[in-house]
Structure 1
């Protein structure tokens, strides 16, 4: 390609493509420099973005831990059981059970009829024994009169000594037969009385395995009852905790509906269970007639034993903040900045929570910690 750069009338000059390459590169370099300069000028003319405004300081109140006397509590669990169970049975054999007027859950009084056996056979035995006593009494009176006459005649010498001895011996044998007949009558009378099975104490019927029409056997259980309707809580504590438990201490346990029942420690087991390595504590529960109330033998409940008191640091419950499943508080530091500090939360009492792992002189945010973060600046106000 040819480029004509001459004026009219000038001699014509020709530029080759090899001579045009340096000129093209110079032109491109100049354009690049101008573009960079224009970009720099455009950037320098733009304003920098404004910084975000500082977060406003929240108004908070602060408090200090307070030393209070807290109850020393041992938490435990265990089963409800009868204080004493009475297994009522019969000593009779071969008699048919004809009456069973009580059912499970009935409240019974001492001496109340629980069961009755057929007494016809015993009534017949009673008549026979009574007749035997009458016969023995008559024979004894006759022998006694003969013996008395023999004693009188013996003084006159009209009767031999051998005859007198025979009359005296007959009197003694008649008296012995009379005593035997009386004893047999008492045995039958006792047997008749035992056809009626009575409650040995007041309480609540907890089981009734007997069946009407069955034949009684000695020692076979007819009914079972909770004596005096008294229950006990058999709480399990560790061997270490057991040394702090004493009879007379107060226990509190939660019923099935959430109500709290109060009891008293009666006894601490002298042995450690070989399997669980726990010690059983027996807590008396006040009588809850009728039908034992809401607590029933066999229930598994949780509770606590108050074994004394101790001094502890406490904070209002509103000062405790839960983060990641742990208890924390916000501690006020220099320049009104707050620090999130983890603590150990313990028992609660009247709206206050026992805490540890916190100096007693700490200034702690009293409430509203859920809106704060570690390192925030706050405004302390007084109420």
Structure 2
């Protein structure tokens, strides 16, 4: 009996507690609803005040920025000339580089040296003489023999003219004389091959030999005497295979010299290699450049090959072009009533170079391109502008 009474009391307490919780919950919800209505009423009043202030400001200052408009910068579009370049690294080269070799094909000890590094030389100028003492030592005995043979021939011929002796004696004396003369000629030719001359005119760019040393033309350290003709220069570059159809003889190029404050030299491609290198998948080009004493063979140069150009086109900053599922688009500013809005325009793009891209269609001269603040714009959004001057 006592346990039943206790159970009844517990149930009664729980029921009372639940009822109070429900009442508290209903009271809290009603409070929130009331608070929401109050805020909405205040918001309406604030919006009315804002509208009135906007109207008053517009009447007082027609140029004032519209409240809630997104601030952007615009660029008036104008036609321009557009060019695309293939940028590569190349080097300056001399079309005439001569490596001096010993005329006898074997070389010899340098007896005298007549050229110094950096000196200008002419074609045929004597650069060095090799030791020819042993060769010339062979000539003197032969000259003595030749003098004797000539005397014998004259005496034999004189006797033959007087009817003394035989024709065979005359012929033998003449043959001996001519043989000795030819031997002397051969040795003299060998001696002349000990004189080293310049094969071409230019600058003795490298002289890596001294008197008393062996001159053979080239050693493991490189050529001993090198002559460079800087009056006939060219630039060479390796072009990737995928540009094969865009580079041809006659293509205009710009040669930029980083070591000379990015000085630019204009030139034209005059050689396009016909064979693709299987290792690098590239081909070589060459372009003649004017004579310039400040240019050095193997000097690094940046090459810009003009492979596309168009006149009177629309070219815009590359970064303002965006993409979606329908293609490429940009935003321009248009007037809508008394407001300025962002207008989304689909465009067809062409080539791009540096920070510009060519627009084939979709934009026209005079339109106001949004160049700053275009991120997160939507079509028809109210905007306020700050003009950007076109690049000169």
TM > 0.5 fold call: yes
SS at match of 1:337: strand
- Post-superposition Cα deviations, 1:33-84, rounded to whole Å, max 9, x if no partner, equal 8xx89x969x95994484677156879776345264x556443333433323
Distance between the aligned counterparts of 2:131 and 2:286, measured in 1?
Answer: 42
- Structure 2 unaligned spans of 5+: 1-15, 55-66
CA contact (8 A) 2:321 2:329 kept: no
SS at match of 2:266: strand
Q: CA deviation at 1:202?
A: 1.0
Which of 90, 93, 113 is 2:126 aligned to? 113
User: Residue in 1 aligned with 2:5?
Assistant: none
- TM-score, normalised via structure 1 length: 0.66
Distance between the aligned counterparts of 1:219 and 1:174, measured in 2?
Answer: 47
Summarize the Cα distance change of 1:217–1:79 in structure 2 as closer, same or farther, 3 Å threshold.
closer
CA contact (8 A) 1:265 1:281 kept: yes
- Post-superposition Cα deviations, 1:313-371, rounded to whole Å, max 9, x if no partner, equal 234xxx637469999964234523235778666347xxx955136524365436x8346
Distance between the aligned counterparts of 1:214 and 1:227, measured in 2?
Answer: 26
Distance between the aligned counterparts of 2:158 and 2:189, measured in 1?
Answer: 33
- Structure 1 unaligned spans of 5+: 1-21, 154-162
User: Residue in 1 aligned with 2:352?
Assistant: 346
Question: What is the aligned-residue RMSD (CA, Å)?
Answer: 4.7
Matched, 1:140 2:153: yes
SS at match of 2:258: coil
Summarize the Cα distance change of 1:288–1:362 in structure 2 as closer, same or farther, 3 Å threshold.
closer
CA contact (8 A) 2:322 2:330 kept: no
The structure with the larger Rg is 1
CA contact (8 A) 1:268 1:282 kept: yes
User: Residue in 2 aligned with 1:254?
Assistant: 256
Matched, 1:102 2:115: yes
User: Residue in 2 aligned with 1:204?
Assistant: 203
Q: How does 1:1-383 map to 2 (within 5 A)?
A: 44=38, 47-48=42-43, 50=46, 54-55=67-68, 63-66=76-79, 68=81, 70-71=82-83, 73-92=85-104, 95-150=108-163, 167-216=166-215, 222-227=224-229, 229-257=231-259, 258-289=262-293, 293-297=294-298, 299-306=299-306, 309-311=309-311, 313-315=313-315, 320=317, 322=319, 330-333=331-334, 335=336, 336-339=340-343, 346-347=352-353, 353-356=356-359, 358-361=361-364, 363-365=366-368, 369-370=371-372, 374=377, 375-378=381-384
CA contact (8 A) 2:103 2:196 kept: no
Distance between the aligned counterparts of 1:308 and 1:320, measured in 2?
Answer: 18
- Post-superposition Cα deviations, 1:199-223, rounded to whole Å, max 9, x if no partner, equal 1111233444434322445887641
Greater percentage in strand: 2
- TM-score, normalised via structure 2 length: 0.65
CA contact (8 A) 1:320 1:328 kept: no
